[in-house]
Amino acid sequence: MQTHLPDPRPTATPSREASDHQLPQVSHARNPGMALDMDWVARVQANTSAIERRCDTLGGRRSVKKDYQAAWLLKAISLIDLTTLSGDDTAGRVQRLCAKARHPVRADLLEALGLPELTVGAVCVYHEMVEVAVKALEGSGIPVAAVSTGFPAGLSPFPLRLAEIGESVAAGAAEIDIVISRRHVLTGNWQALYDETREMRAACGPAHMKTILATGELGTLRNVARASLVCMMAGADFIKTSTGKESVNATLPVTLTMLRAIRDYDERTGFKVGYKPAGGISKAKDALLYLSLMKDELGLPWLQPDLFRFGASSLLGDIERQLEHHVTGRYSAANRHAMA
């Protein structure tokens, strides 16, 4: 069965105007959050066997080929948060990553595909590299996202976590990827999770907040579903699976669980919250599965950068290889698609 995707250019999202401190542009009202509703949280359940069964059959029921596949892969590029989060990051590495963000695919391939202008969704770095990335992306309209709040463990003193958010926003980060305190989920202390996330959202100010649940450390899909809901109640603009540093990162069952929570929240409050799978998504075929699941569960509005991102770096290289094969009919080596 072929699934049709509309024109890969993100026309549903207003064009982003360049500025020194690029703020996120959205085509929907920003989620303001709401009071913590413990009755709603307590009612949330997750049928693990049914969720896994649905995900196991996804690949066989959703197949895109040829021009349709190329369109999906071009869409995926526009949704990537191109990321470097290594202890040996340097200004030069971040500048090269930003150059790749501006020109993610070789120009001859984009010309052949009829899409000469294409950029990624954002560049994601540690706080120390925010100013470097902002300067390197000046005039591009590509926002900078900063991981914050004691990333990846989230165990630094809470006042320091809040201060780190403020420093990243002041340095020009338009998006802040915060990490929750996993212990609050594991002990069922939903009030503490809500209060901390709410304060982090306030500290972000105009910058949009992506809330990392670290789902591989939450134990059960029910915990994932409840944590997703509480973070949305606290005002999260996105909910995100992982830091990429856990032993288990983004998976399809976790994704389906979080998408259903987003759908329920939208139906009840009228506010749309974005989704970001991160960690372990390195193949083009995997990106296609996530895109099709997103389209099935939430529909076309969630196939734009203001509501969906991939947290990835190596994914882009594999997508480029697939696009070259589509254009030329020949398989491509990875060294033909350098990161800069």
Tell me which H or E stretch contains 175: strand 175-179
Block residue for tokens 């949330």: 44
Backbone angles phi, psi at 65, to 5 degrees: -130, 160
Pairing of strands 144-147, 175-179: parallel
CB-based contacts of 92, cutoff 8 Å, min separation 6: none
Instruction: Write out the catalytic residue numbers.
Output: 177, 240, 276
Q: What is the CA angle 187-193-194, rounded to 5? A: 140
Residues across the chain:
340
Assess whether the previous peptide bond of 301 is cis (omega < 30° from 0): no
**Residue among 233, 195, 236, 188 nearest 212 (CA):** 236
